């Protein structure tokens, strides 16, 4: 059910991008119980002039290693579960491919189940 959009500066290797996709998917499976094979990840790579961010916001220092994750997911998870998910993603991306925790920016977008169609013009979750 999740759709993961990853925004970052151009220049990451294919292996690093795969590690980001896999790390987020593993966290989704472990914490949110996302079904096996439910992996949809889209990368958006930007030049410096198309990837603008504040180097410090809310006491968090960001640099060119920033990875922005925007994840559309079905609604209904608790705040505690979301916090556990954020920690899990950070731990996994720090381990591989080495993204510093301060450079992992996560935005969850919760949607109702009838707002998903995985093909054939059908809302499979309804």
Question: pLDDT of 47-92, one tens digit each?
Answer: 999 999 999 999 999 999 999 999 999 999 999 999 999 999 999 9
Domain count, the chain: 1
What is the value of pTM for the model shown? Answer: 0.94
Q: Is residue 110 part of a domain?
A: yes
What domain range includes position 12? 3-115
Looking up residue 29, the CATH number of its domain turns out to be 3.30.429.10
Radius of gyration (C-alpha) of the chain in whole angstroms = 15
Q: Is residue 125 part of a domain?
A: no
Describe the strand order of the beta sheet including 67-74 as a list of residue ranges.
Answer: 41-46, 3-9, 67-74, 104-111
Provide the total of helices (H) and of strands (E) in the chain, helices listed first.
Answer: 2, 6
Q: Is residue 60 part of a domain?
A: yes
């Amino acid at each position: 059910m999740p759709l993961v959009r990853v925004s970052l500066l151009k220049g990451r290797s294919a292996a690093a991008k795969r590690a980001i996709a896999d790390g987020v998917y593993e966290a989704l499976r472990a914490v949110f119980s996302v079904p096996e094979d439910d992996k949809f990840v889209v990368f958006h790579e930007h030049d410096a002039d198309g990837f603008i961010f504040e180097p410090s916001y809310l006491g968090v220092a960001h640099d060119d290693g920033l990875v922005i994750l925007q994840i559309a997911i079905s609604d209904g998870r608790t705040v505690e579960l979301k916090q556990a998910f954020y920690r899990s993603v950070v731990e996994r991306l720090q381990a591989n491919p080495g993204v510093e925790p301060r450079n992992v920016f996560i935005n969850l977008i919760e949607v109702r189940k009838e707002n998903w169609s995985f093909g054939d013009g059908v809302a499979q979750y309804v």
